C-alpha cells in the first residue's frame, strides 16, 4: 500500500528533480520541489553516494538530512564519512526504505520530499 509520502516522493523522482533529463531551467537559483524553492541549493546532481564520496552532492545530501531529521545537524563539509553514513541509515530507517547507507535514487527521492516538507522523518 502506498502512503501519500511514498506517492509524492515518487512523483518528485519521476518529475526529474536532478534526475535523468531533469533541468534547472524553471528555477535558475535551484530546482523547484513541491511547488516551492528547494531548501538546499548546492547542486541539482543526484549521483549515488556512499561512504568515501565527496563533493557538492554530498553537501546537498547532508543539507537534506539536516532538514529531515531531528537532533544535531551534520557539518556541511561535503565528505561522506561515518557521521553522514549513520545519519543516512537513520533517515532510511525512519522513511521505511532500504537501510544500506547508500544515497541512491530512492533515498534521494525521499530526502527531497522530507527536507522540503514542514515535518521531520524522525
Tens of pLDDT, residue by residue over 99-110, are: 999 999 999 999
pLDDT greater at residue 64 or residue 28: 64
Give the position of cell 543526484: 46
- Is the pLDDT at 29 greater than 90, yes or no? no
pTM for this prediction: 0.71
- Is the pLDDT at 3 greater than 90, yes or no? no
- Comparing CA positions, the residue from 70, 41, 64 lying closest to residue 111 is 64
Answer whether 55's CB lies under 8 Å from 47's CB.
Answer: no
Amino acid at each position: 500500500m502506498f502512503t501519500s509520502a511514498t506517492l509524492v516522493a515518487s512523483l518528485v523522482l519521476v518529475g526529474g528533480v536532478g534526475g535523468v533529463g531533469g533541468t534547472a531551467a524553471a528555477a535558475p537559483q535551484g530546482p523547484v520541489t513541491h511547488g516551492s524553492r528547494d531548501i538546499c541549493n548546492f547542486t541539482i546532481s543526484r549521483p549515488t553516494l556512499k561512504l568515501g564520496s565527496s563533493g557538492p552532492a554530498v553537501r546537498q545530501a547532508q543539507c537534506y538530512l539536516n532538514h529531515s531529521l531531528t537532533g544535531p545537524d551534520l557539518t556541511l563539509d561535503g565528505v561522506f564519512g561515518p557521521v553522514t553514513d549513520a545519519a543516512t541509515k537513520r533517515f532510511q530507517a525512519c522513511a521505511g526504505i532500504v537501510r544500506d547507507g547508500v544515497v541512491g535514487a530512492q533515498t534521494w527521492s525521499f530526502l527531497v520530499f522530507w527536507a522540503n516538507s514542514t515535518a521531520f522523518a524522525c
